[in-house]
């Protein structure tokens, strides 16, 4: 599992022409944040080789730290000292409703099948598994939490409403005969009700780390909204 995730603005745009502007977020965590300069070097190297399987020519215009607003790269110059990792600040909330909106493809696979519905227990199960694996792989500590107790409490959270739309998605893969890997997924939203207060930190971390398969390439990104 990689210590980074991508989020490309533009709702899954696949075709690009000369003059188009591609804006994306690159979130680093753990060991990735500690070696942030490596990713800056990689982006500059990619500028020489081209972007993606088609090796599209592009120019790296600007990199900005989303939290501090400081410029990291612009006009061919870099300010590497502005790459400073920091802790994620999460506000405690006493909430009874949480609405999750997934704006990138979501691939939660259970029993080799793409999910039909997303009960809170299933969502939390996949989310805490991802958080646990990433923490163990890329940080100097291992989270200690009672997963069985969390899942038991998650079963008490009800789904009030949800809507999902299946979308086709394919990406280049050198391991496929036709060079395409089909990744059927869904986008949509879900509204949960119950004692959600203790799950707020997990939901907030999930906004940055994503959930489901393909998280590194931008899948599983969501926004969450609360009643309080």
Digitized pLDDT (tens) for each residue of the chain, 228 residues in all:
889 998 888 766 667 888 889 999 999 999 998 888 899 999 989 988 888 777 888 999 999 998 889 999 999 999 989 988 888 889 889 999 999 999 999 999 988 899 999 999 999 999 999 999 999 999 877 788 889 999 999 999 999 999 999 988 777 666 666 667 778 899 999 999 999 999 999 999 999 999 999 888 889 999 999 999
Q: How far is CA 18 from CA 15, 22, 109, in A?
A: 11, 11, 37
Q: What's the pLDDT score for residue 176?
A: 63
Q: What's the pLDDT score for residue 83?
A: 85
What is the per-residue burial (b if ≥16 Cβ within 10 Å, else e) of 86-103?
A: eeeeeeebebeebbbebe
Centre a 10 Å sphere on the Cβ of residue 128 and count the other Cβ atoms it contains.
21
- What number of residues does the chain have? 228
Q: What's the pLDDT score for residue 160?
A: 98
Asked whether 186 and 165 are in contact (CB, 8 A), the reply is yes
Distance of CA 212 to the CA centre of its chain: 9
Distance of CA 32 to the CA centre of its chain: 15
């Amino acid at each position: 599992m990689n210590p980074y995730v991508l989020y490309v603005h533009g709702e899954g745009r696949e075709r690009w022409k000369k003059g188009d502007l591609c804006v994306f977020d690159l979130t680093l965590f753990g060991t990735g944040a500690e070696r942030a300069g490596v990713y800056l070097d990689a982006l500059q190297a990619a500028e020489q080789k081209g972007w993606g399987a088609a090796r599209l020519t592009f120019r790296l215009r600007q990199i900005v730290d989303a939290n501090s607003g400081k410029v990291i790269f612009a006009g061919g110059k870099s300010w590497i000292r502005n790459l400073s990792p920091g802790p994620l600040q999460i506000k405690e909330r006493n909430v009874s409703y949480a609405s999750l909106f997934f704006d990138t493809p979501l691939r939660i696979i259970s029993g080799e099948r793409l999910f039909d519905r997303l009960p809170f227990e299933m969502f939390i199960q996949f989310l805490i598994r991802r958080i646990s694996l990433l923490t163990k792989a890329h940080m100097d500590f291992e989270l200690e939490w009672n997963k069985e107790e969390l899942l038991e409490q998650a079963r008490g959270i009800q789904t009030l409403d949800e809507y999902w739309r299946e979308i086709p998605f394919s990406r280049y893969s050198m391991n496929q005969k036709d060079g395409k890997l089909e990744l059927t997924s869904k986008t949509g939203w879900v509204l949960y009700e119950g004692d959600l207060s203790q799950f707020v930190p997990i939901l907030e971390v999930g906004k940055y780390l994503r959930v489901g398969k393909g998280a590194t390439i931008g899948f599983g990104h969501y926004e969450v909204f609360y009643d309080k």
